[in-house]
Amino acid sequence: MFELTEEQKMIASTAKDIAKDFPPEYWREKDANNEFAEEFFKAIAKAGFLGLLIPEEYGGAGYGMQEMVVGMEELCANGCGAGGVWYLVLTEIFGALPISRYGTPEQKEKYLPRIAKGEMEFCMALTEPNAGTNTLNIQTFARKEGDEYVINGNKIFISGVDRAEGMLLVTRTTPLDQSPKKSLGITLFLIDLPNRAVKWNPIPKHGINFSKTCEVSISDLRVPEDAILGQKDLGWYLLLDVLNPERMSAAAGAIGGARLAIGKAVEYTKQRRVFADPIGSYQGLQFPLAEAYASLQCASLMMRKAAWLYDTKFRIEDILDPEKRVKMQAAFREVGDASNMAKVVAVENSIKAVYWAMQCFGGYGYAREHDVERWWREVNLLRLAPITQQMALNYIAEHILGMPRSYRT
């Protein structure tokens, strides 16, 4: 647990090598020009990163989240910043991972080999304008008509939909007021894109401009029954099983991005002199960076624990088996606990680290050419997505500390 396996070391070292070819200047340009990082995407595909979570029989490497977070963190830390994690989340966590875990043999055959080769990008459409953080309140509805489903609804902030050929679409198949439990009645679909029934419009945004984030409208989208991933009405647990790895990935991105910013700040402050000594000798700059660094190391351990729990303890199939259900529910909770704690601590301390890196650069930190202002724009997203810090803290207070839920649903 405390030491990387030989495979993980190899993945870390490959990630470092890739990142050297895509230094901060590369991402600065992509961000400024609102351009997809095509060359980087090809490089991670060639190195096998897009197949990391895909079983070998479908062209992947058959690794788990433990290897994935190590690779993500190193890509981010060695030059890529948020770019090192973003495309992997969209295609690998939203596409490869749930299909590998829950897809039918036909779905696996259809999607996984193409994802592994870097021929197909993915996205996930969960968030809705009226539901926001209250996910169970989504209104996108899939109505059964003969042997098809007809889907209508609106989604917001859907990243990568402009290029994706696959979408993990979260719908209701039983209205909330008719579901025996709020968490029942959610169904996940695998949608092939582009499709005339799915229209998108980019939302100009603060950072991560090497990827588009869009509002999406879906009108009378017709899909066959076999487009369902998992089981009808039981999509909630499957969705959480995607959102937990997404939180681990957010932690990896936060930790890696902060390592990058701290490294640059240390390098700069050792050389910059305005009074007699280099500014790096002042404790006013040292302490906040040191504190953030130490906290990030702790967050990294929790992130790796979350990934280990995910890889080794939980299988959703077992939750349907009455004999294994209680054990599986406990394992599921443990994954959620560790993922949320890792995300909260990694993100708060990453924001602190990047903030202080910017201070170290003084006025130059505000100039585009030093990249810190871009990392600042990137890292602040993580307070809002994939889960807001407040909702992750709500989870910890309610589910780990056993305090009363502080909000009505």
Ligand X SMILES: Cc1cc2nc3c(=O)[nH]c(=O)nc-3n(C[C@H](O)[C@H](O)[C@H](O)COP(=O)(O)OP(=O)(O)OC[C@H]3O[C@@H](n4cnc5c(N)ncnc54)[C@H](O)[C@@H]3O)c2cc1C
In the complex, the residues that contact ligand X under the rule CB under 6 A are 123-127, 132-133, 157-159, 205, 208, 213, 381, 384-386, 388, 390-391, 394, 407
| 287 versus 407: smaller Cβ distance to ligand X | 407
Residue 144 backbone dihedrals phi, psi, to 5 degrees: -75, 130
| 111 versus 268: smaller Cβ distance to ligand X | 111
Of all residues in the shown chain, the one whose CB is closest to ligand X is: 132
| 8 versus 187: smaller Cβ distance to ligand X | 187
| 13 versus 133: smaller Cβ distance to ligand X | 133
| 124 versus 302: smaller Cβ distance to ligand X | 124
The SS3 assignment for 220 reads strand
Token representation of residue 343: 């995300």
| 154 versus 179: smaller Cβ distance to ligand X | 154
CB 126 → ligand X: shortest distance, Å? 3
Closest CA to 311 of 334, 279, 288: 334
Q: Are strands 213-224 and 198-202 parallel, antiparallel or unpaired?
A: antiparallel
User: What is each CA distance from 29 to 52, 69, 369, 374, 405, in whole angstroms?
Assistant: 28, 26, 10, 11, 45
CB 69 → ligand X: shortest distance, Å? 19
Token representation of residue 33: 């020009």
| 54 versus 158: smaller Cβ distance to ligand X | 158
CB 389 → ligand X: shortest distance, Å? 7
| 124 versus 262: smaller Cβ distance to ligand X | 124
CB 134 → ligand X: shortest distance, Å? 7
CB 93 → ligand X: shortest distance, Å? 10
Per DSSP, which regions of 50-107 are E strands? none
Cα–Cα dist 170/174, whole Å: 12
Closest CA to 22 of 76, 73, 65: 76
CB 124 → ligand X: shortest distance, Å? 5
**What own/partner pairs with CB < 8 Å and gap ≥ 24 does 67-70 have?**
67/7, 67/8, 67/11, 68/92, 68/245, 68/248, 68/249, 68/252, 68/307, 69/248, 69/249, 69/251, 69/252, 69/303, 69/304, 69/307, 70/4, 70/8, 70/11, 70/12, 70/15, 70/252, 70/304
CB 86 → ligand X: shortest distance, Å? 9
Closest CA to 295 of 265, 255, 263: 255
Q: Are strands 186-192 and 228-229 parallel, antiparallel or unpaired?
A: antiparallel
CB 402 → ligand X: shortest distance, Å? 17
